[in-house]
Amino acid sequence: MDDSRIIKTEYSEVMQKSYIDYAMSVIIARALPDVRDGLKPVQRRTLYDMHELGIRHDRPYRKSARIVGDTMGKYHPHGDSSIYEALVVMTQEFKKGMPLVDGHGNFGNIEGDGAAAMRYTEARLQKVTQEAFLADLDKNVVDFIPNFDETEKEPSVLPAKVPNLLVNGSEGIAVGMATSIPPHNLSEVIDAAKAYMNNPDITTEELMRYVKGPDFPTGGIVINKDELLSIYETGTGKIKIRGKVETEKGKGGKTNLVITQIPYPMIGANIGKFLSDVANLAETKKTQDIVDISNQSSKEGIRIVIELKKDADVHNFVNMLYKKTRLEDTFGVNMLAISGGRPETMGLRQIIKENVDFQFEVARRKYKTLLEKEQERKEVQEGLIKACNVIDLIIEILRGSKDRAMVKACLVDGKTDPVKFKYKESKIMAAQLRFTEKQANAILDMRLYKLIGLELEALIKEHEETMANIYRYEDILERRDSMAMVIMNELDAMKKEYGRPRRTVIENGEEAVYEEKKIEEMEVMCLIDRFGYVKTVDMPTYERNKESADAENKYVFPCKNTGRICVFTNTGQLHTIKVQDLPFGKFRDKGVPLDNVSNYSAEKERIVLAVSQSRLNMHRVIFGTKLSMVKTVDGGEFDVTKRTVAATKLQDGDEVVSVAVWKEQTDIVLRTVGGYFLRFPIEEIPEKKKSAVGVRGMKLGNKDYVENIYYIQNTEEQLIEYKEKTMELNKLKAGKRDSKGTKPRG
């Protein structure tokens, strides 16, 4: 290969440049909307393609697959799913303040069910989209740019007549940045735009007299009214929103809570999550007021009914829903959009300013184009009127000329020599005609019926209208006030036809405060079987079934129903579980797997000890591991509320063999897989922190390890089964910690 063609460069520089190019492409050309029309490229291209295909609001629906395919082939080569998804969202009334596409078929629902495949659904433009976004595209109001393969032209922006970025909001994730703009009320946004036109120095606070706050299509109640000014000034912040709850009388004197509006972030799968969260409140005994819950939502709207007991405190229960479920949620605002070709976070005033400036630019280009057309029309009309007055002369020129070019030369430049005239006076008059090129063409194309008196009157009337239009267009172009009046009239027409009442209530809501009903404290028995299923029963139940309970379960211990239990595992982890979270009931109930109520994983770890947390607080805890590391730890170190903490530190390849609460035990016995036993006093084990490894308990031979650990109390005989023989641990000779131990005879 020729060396002159090899370009040597730093790899990191290439990566950096390539990634920045990619990031900017995603930011500008995919993920973020333009502040002027409030649309992302995929939305803009889809609407323009529908406009080009003639799928108007008053025409039949067309298959979504046709629209998607045409858009992808002409303007947006990024895959059909992204185009169809954009089309679907533009039809959904529960997501958009003002849907731009009229969908026919299954376009999904508020509960998160997806739309049908594009081959089944049909769509067409909404009337508002044609009037507010696609009108005047033929009047040179926006720049057209080449498409991806330079075979078509597409608008760089649509000439939106309303601040769509605010009306419909936008959500998008780019590279290193994201946008999240809530929808607003069309009428309020139009009023704010008009107020800005009347006073360009208007403040955000003054604009908020018109734009009260977001207006979500799902309604709801915004409860942090006082924080909205800061959010709309900076373009960032958090809007707190609650669902709307009403009460109805139920059967038998019961109260039904009916949720008729939900927070905007709840739409989709979060409705199902809300229902399961409410059911979970009943299952975990957080409340005992719920009798039943049902989702009766339909096309008419949201209706979630919670049936409460007769004596339920409704106000307290509603506050609990706000606190414990997504009935109160936050909408993170980050008003990021493309302005002047670059991403920028903007406040309310800047978004309205950019839109109004764009409206003036569109109006300037529109009326400049209209003026040019009227001036051309005026030129032609004046030529035809003048021609009608000297029609006999023109007929004489026509009859005396050999071809069209000769006639034009006479009419435009006064060249009379080649033309044969009947009268000398005609030649003199013809030399003075001086029509323009356009006038001459119009005269030559003129039909004879135009010479009828009524037609001539209509021509003169048309000329008067043209002159009036020219005067009007010049006035609009020369005076900002006149142009502002035209724009305002258009905005008023939009507001009158498409405005609707506000759905979301804006107020300063009180903090949701609810009192948890105090649980009557009592002692219960915790039972964990060898399969890791856990449950609690009351003491009388345990006493009646003591023999079975002790035989069938691996861990049986008392605890308070208001406390926690501690589960130590062979991996050195400690899992703490609220006793309240454990099922409480009948002795023969199976219970639930520990995995369901804690971070414990039956596949990855095994229980070494389960005990009440309150019992640990009063004692020291003994640890012994496979590699014979031992230590004692103050039980108070395990008085934690985190679900999972490290109970001890382990060396590589080590695991916990035994954890025991040190109460009356005097000696510890370590037994290895090789058959060595070592007995020594527990007092020889030093106290360490839970984060320490510990000290060596016994010296291990090659490939030997501790298999089991036993504890001896002086007053009790301690028997174990070892190699099919019964062995009495009390008779083992006591040794010293960190010695090798002995092998028993026989």
Tens of pLDDT, residue by residue over 132-144, are 999 999 999 999 9
* Average of per-residue pLDDT across 415-442: 79
Indicate the helix (H) or strand (E) that contains 550.
helix 546-552
Of 436, 482, 442, 444, nearest in space to 462 by CA: 442
Decide: 598 and 577 in contact? Cβ < 8 Å. yes
Q: Is 725 helix (H, G, I), strand (E, B) or coil?
A: strand
Biggest distance spanned by C-alpha atoms of the chain: 153
Task: Name the more confident of 68 and 615.
Answer: 68
| CA pair distance 687, 676, nearest whole angstrom | 25
* Average of per-residue pLDDT across 148-175: 93
Lowest mean pLDDT among 86-100, 330-344, 408-422, 634-648: 408-422
Give the mean pLDDT of the chain. 89
* Average of per-residue pLDDT across 191-199: 96
Token readout for 648 is 């001890």
**Of 120, 471, 705, 710, catalytic:** 120
Q: What is the structure's pLDDT at 1?
A: 47
Q: What is the structure's pLDDT at 63?
A: 97
Q: Which amino acid is at 108?
A: G
Q: Which residues, at least 6 apart from 351, have a Cβ–Cβ distance to it below 8 Å?
A: 35, 163, 165, 166, 335, 337
Lowest mean pLDDT among 81-85, 114-118, 515-519: 515-519
| CA pair distance 86, 246, nearest whole angstrom | 35
pLDDT tens readout for residues 529-561: 988 999 999 999 999 999 999 999 999 999 998
Q: Which amino acid is at 703?
A: K
Decide: 341 and 36 in contact? Cβ < 8 Å. no
| CA pair distance 102, 699, nearest whole angstrom | 80
| 116 secondary structure, DSSP code | P
Q: Integer distance in angstroms from the first to the last C-alpha of the chain?
A: 82
Token readout for 58 is 């008053």
* Average of per-residue pLDDT across 185-191: 96
| 646 secondary structure, DSSP code | E
pLDDT tens readout for residues 109-125: 998 889 999 999 999 99
pLDDT tens readout for residues 221-259: 999 999 999 999 999 999 999 999 999 888 877 888 999
Q: What is the structure's pLDDT at 328?
A: 92
- Confidence bin at 439 (pLDDT 50/70/90): confident
| CA pair distance 425, 314, nearest whole angstrom | 105
pLDDT tens readout for residues 381-416: 888 888 888 888 888 778 788 888 888 888 888 777
Q: Which residue is it, tokens 């640890």?
A: 623
Lowest mean pLDDT among 161-170, 318-327, 430-439, 612-621: 430-439
Q: Which amino acid is at 474?
A: E
Of 345, 346, 350, 333, nearest in space to 214 by CA: 333
Task: Name the more confident of 514 and 713.
Answer: 713
Q: Which residues, at least 6 apart from 42, have a Cβ–Cβ distance to it below 8 Å?
A: 30, 76, 78, 82, 83, 86
* Average of per-residue pLDDT across 314-340: 91
Q: What is the structure's pLDDT at 128?
A: 95
| CA pair distance 367, 139, nearest whole angstrom | 8
Q: What is the structure's pLDDT at 518?
A: 66
* Average of per-residue pLDDT across 580-601: 86
Q: What angle do CA 129, 134, 136 make, to 5 degrees?
A: 140
* Average of per-residue pLDDT across 83-110: 94
- What is the reported pTM? 0.73
**Strands, DSSP E only, in 500-614?**
505-506, 523-529, 533-538, 553-560, 564-569, 573-578, 592-593, 607-612
| CA pair distance 314, 311, nearest whole angstrom | 9
Decide: 681 and 734 in contact? Cβ < 8 Å. yes
Is 120 designated active site? yes
- Confidence bin at 520 (pLDDT 50/70/90): confident
Helices (H), 199-245: 204-207, 228-234
Q: What is the structure's pLDDT at 105?
A: 95
| CA pair distance 173, 544, nearest whole angstrom | 61
Q: What is the structure's pLDDT at 3?
A: 56
**Helix-helix angle 391-400:404-413, to 10 degrees:** 140
What DSSP assignment string belongs to 459-527?
A: HHHHHHHHHHHHHHHHHHHH-HHHHHHHHHHHHHHHHHHH-----SEE-BPPP---PPPPP---EEEEE
Q: Judging by beta carbons within 10 Å of its beta carbon (0-12, 13-18, 19+), is residue 77 exposed, middle or buried?
A: exposed
